[in-house]
Amino acid sequence: MNLTVAARGEHTSPASDTLMRRTSPSLRLPLFAVFLSLSVISLLPLVVYGCASKKERIFRKSKILMDTLVTISVVARSPSEADKAVDAAFLEIERLEKMGNFYSADSELSRVNRDAGISPVTVSPDLIDLVTKALVVSRKTDGAFDPTIGPVISLYDFRARKIPDPEAIRKSLPLVGYRKIRVDDTASTIFLTEKGMSIDLGGIMKGYAAEKATEVLRSQGIRAGIVSVAGDVRAFGAKPDGSPWKVGIRHPRGRSEEDVIAVLPLTDLSISTSGDYERFSLREGKRIHHLISPQTGYPVSTCQSASVIAPSGALADAYSTGVFLLGVERGLRLLETLGFEGVIVDDKGALHATPGIRRVLEIKTGS
């Protein structure tokens, strides 16, 4: 999931004229101030990049974790105060990565998957919490988001451009079904009822990690900041000048992460985007991507991206996947029922948004 986190400073390439012509006139709002992209391509030391007062400044640090770039910006009075808090937040993300890594044989999640159909596995409270949240989203999306998609996802290899044959998909689909997960809060165990099942928390883990990292920052005395795990973003408090953080939603057909389709203010909320541009390969002109339907085992092509704004990072992350797979109509209806906000770019590049976000959404024009 990719978003460009933004604050004041430097221009970022906007969306295309073609997409703007497809955008509803009701969403063409006045532009915000120009902003600075925090989505960087290399590790950066802790640096000051903004100074709205002599007492408080914004500090930023990036690190590769969860096989992606994690960037944390905090409002603090000194580099040492910021460094201590940010390093503690990084350690929290590392801990969660070790717990829920689908590909690591040593993770708690892998132990659950290995004992599928055999016995319940005792796990940490965080994994219980994470799987419980995933099940809530599965129920609310009628299974569009399903953490037991693991057996099907494992068949795809986008780096090697490996696409599974239909027979392999057909054999794996019976192993997918969130209702086959048994969570025992009292015993702190998770059990998959059939051999061969596996849980993949990739669709919820990064948002959860951003949220937990924010809790650590607060415990370290940080009053405001923004955590971006790849693109699952959690913002809290305000910038030193009192203004909210701003987040840019990546243009799904942009040339780079710097190309954004829209910008919105974000305070004490999380945003997550699922897009068909994250992991994909092209076959005969068709985009084969990682957002797989648990019902069919194949990618869904009715959207290019779906962004969800929610109070919880885990929920924003999981619902962005679910909404993408549900499509524009059902996805927007679900978000309004939940009281969440969202922005969806359909398969033709047209932008759709929930009513509440339209009032503050800044559509980027030009190319």
Q: What is the dihedral of CA 240, 242, 247, 248, to 10 degrees?
A: -100
CATH number, domain of 10, equals: 3.10.520.10
Residue 347, SS3? coil
User: Are 87 and 236 contained in the same domain?
Assistant: yes
Q: Which amino acid is at 9?
A: G
Average confidence (pLDDT) per 10 residues, the chain, 367 residues: 35 27 30 30 33 74 95 97 98 98 96 98 98 98 97 83 86 97 98 98 97 98 96 95 93 78 94 80 62 90 93 97 96 97 93 93 70
pTM value > 0.85: no
pLDDT, residue 364, reads 77
Domains: count for the chain? 2
Cβ atoms within 10 Å, residue 294: 21
User: Are 246 and 122 contained in the same domain?
Assistant: no
pLDDT, residue 157, reads 80
Residue 222, SS3? coil
pLDDT, residue 285, reads 58
CATH number, domain of 122, equals: 1.10.3980.10
Nearest to 19 by CA among 351, 352, 250: 351
pLDDT, residue 160, reads 63
Last residue of a domain, one of 137, 160, 192: 192
pLDDT, residue 276, reads 82
Tell me if 197 is assigned to some domain: no
Nearest to 316 by CA among 21, 93, 3: 3
pLDDT, residue 250, reads 87
User: Are 16 and 78 contained in the same domain?
Assistant: yes
Compute the chain's Rg from CA coordinates: 20
Tokens of 367: 């190319």
Q: Distance (Å, rounded) from C-alpha 37 to C-alpha 39?
A: 5
Tell me if 318 is assigned to some domain: yes
Last residue of a domain, one of 160, 192, 224: 192
Q: Which amino acid is at 80?
A: S
Tell me if 27 is assigned to some domain: yes
Residue 346 half-sphere exposure, CB side, CA atoms within 13 Å?
14
Beta bridge partners of residue 299, listed in sequence order: 292
Tokens of 144: 């569009």
**Placement of tokens 């969403």 in the chain:** 27
pLDDT, residue 308, reads 98
Provide the domain limits for residue 337.
3-99+204-363
Q: Distance (Å, rounded) from C-alpha 270 to C-alpha 310?
A: 5
Cβ 19 vs Cβ 367: under 8 Å: no
User: Are 51 and 175 contained in the same domain?
Assistant: no
- Secondary structure (DSSP) of 211-255: HHHHHHHHHTT--SEEEEETTEEEEES--TTSPPEEEEEEPTT-S
Q: Which amino acid is at 340?
A: F
Last residue of a domain, one of 192, 227, 260: 192
* Residue 5 vs residues 52, 225, 232: alpha-carbon distances, Å: 19, 12, 10
